[in-house]
């Protein structure tokens, strides 16, 4: 039973950064990368940006709070509210 609960918890907390195409205010094509949630960190947004733009990218927008310091995490999770992170990039 404990293994089942632990497995369900891992599935609920796991996730991956998602990428959506968007248009910037000046009309350029861009990618909106969402890496929100307890299981993800800003590094996941930047990794997804590199995967999506192998030739490089420019950050044109960033919204969300900073990741909690490792010492401030409980069992590897950030305390408090749901962590929102969003990065908008244009590929080179």
Looking at the domain assignment, is residue 38 inside a domain? Answer: yes
Please report which confidence band the pLDDT of residue 83 belongs to, taking 50, 70 and 90 as the band edges: confident
pTM of the predicted structure, to 2 decimals: 0.69
Looking at the domain assignment, is residue 52 inside a domain? Answer: yes
Looking at the domain assignment, is residue 4 inside a domain? Answer: no
Provide, rounded to the nearest whole percent, the portion of the chain with pLDDT above 70. 66
Looking at the domain assignment, is residue 6 inside a domain? Answer: no
Looking at the domain assignment, is residue 87 inside a domain? Answer: yes
Contact by Cβ (8 Å): 41, 33:
no
Q: Supply 45's token pair.
A: 């947004």
* Domain that includes residue 62, residue range: 16-91
Q: Number of structural domains, the chain?
A: 1
**For residue 67, what are the CA distances in angstroms to 16, 20, 45, 51?**
16, 22, 12, 21
């Amino acid at each position: 039973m404990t293994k089942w609960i632990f497995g369900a918890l891992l599935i609920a907390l796991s996730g991956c950064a998602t990428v959506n195409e968007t248009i910037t205010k000046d009309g350029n094509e861009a990618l909106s990368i969402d890496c929100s949630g307890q299981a993800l960190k800003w590094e996941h947004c930047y990794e997804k940006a590199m995967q999506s733009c192998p030739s490089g990218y420019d950050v044109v927008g960033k919204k969300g709070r900073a990741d909690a310091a490792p010492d401030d995490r409980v069992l590897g999770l950030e305390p408090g509210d749901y962590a929102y992170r969003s990065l908008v990039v244009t590929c080179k």
